[in-house]
Amino acid sequence: MAVPDGNIGVAFTYNEPLIGYEFIKDSALLIRKAGLMNVLVTNGYINKEPLLMLLPLIDAINVDIKGYSARTYNMVRGTLEPVKLFIETAKKFCHVEVTTLVVPNENENEVEDIVKWLAELDKSIPYHLSRFIPRYKYSDDAPTPSEIMYRLYDIARTYLDNVYLGNM
């Protein structure tokens, strides 16, 4: 076990960990019994009943919100409302942070709506703006210009207390 080396817990991340809900729930219970912490990085898609069974085992969550419109969520084959409900519910149980990958000409104009909504929930929610870097099937697109990231950072800071830039 890595505890003697300073490990404080396990983060369930990459791909979408909630696809393996039963694994996450069973593992999180064992991790908690070992006195360690559980962190979940997710897109926030899970039905309410299993979410409520899982949340008492989770110490912190980072939720990826793709945008704030049906157009953006249609592009990724999802819907916004379940993600908003996930964030609202999780906030009652554990520490929640939110991340948006800013893709040029796709969702940058939705960031202000996201941060306004988050501020209504809690101005202290940490919000991460991640710069898009071209990879795999999106390799023809350019990275999000730094100027856009700094402009969105300034907008987000007018609503939220804890805003961070990533992939800069």
For 45, phi and psi rounded to 5 degrees? -100, 105
Instruction: Identify residue 40 by its one-letter amino acid code.
Output: L
Confidence of residue 14 (pLDDT cuts 50, 70, 90): confident
Asked whether the predicted pLDDT for residue 51 surpasses 70, the reply is yes
* Total domain count, the chain: 1
What is the per-residue pLDDT for 139?
67
User: When comparing pLDDT for 5 and 77, which is higher?
Assistant: 77
What is the per-residue pLDDT for 76?
87
Query: What is the number of other CB atoms lying within 10 angstroms of the CB of residue 30?
Result: 12
Rounded to whole angstroms, the Cα distance separating 28 from 34 reads: 10
Asked whether the predicted pLDDT for residue 140 surpasses 90, the reply is no
Q: 52-72: per-residue pLDDT in tens?
A: 999 999 999 999 999 999 999
Asked whether the predicted pLDDT for residue 165 surpasses 60, the reply is yes
Confidence of residue 138 (pLDDT cuts 50, 70, 90): low
Asked whether the predicted pLDDT for residue 77 surpasses 60, the reply is yes
Asked whether the predicted pLDDT for residue 33 surpasses 60, the reply is yes
Confidence of residue 112 (pLDDT cuts 50, 70, 90): very high
For residue 18, give its domain range: 3-166
Asked whether the predicted pLDDT for residue 3 surpasses 90, the reply is no
- Give the mean model confidence (pLDDT) for residues 32-52: 95
What is the per-residue pLDDT for 1?
56
Q: What is the DSSP string of 1-62?
A: --GGGT--EEEE-SS-GGGGHHHHHHHHHHHHHTT-EEEEEE-----HHHHHHHGGG-SEEE
Distance of CA 143 to the CA centre of its chain: 20
CATH number, residue 121: 3.20.20.70
Asked whether the predicted pLDDT for residue 21 surpasses 90, the reply is yes
Instruction: Please give the mean pLDDT across all residues of the chain.
Output: 94
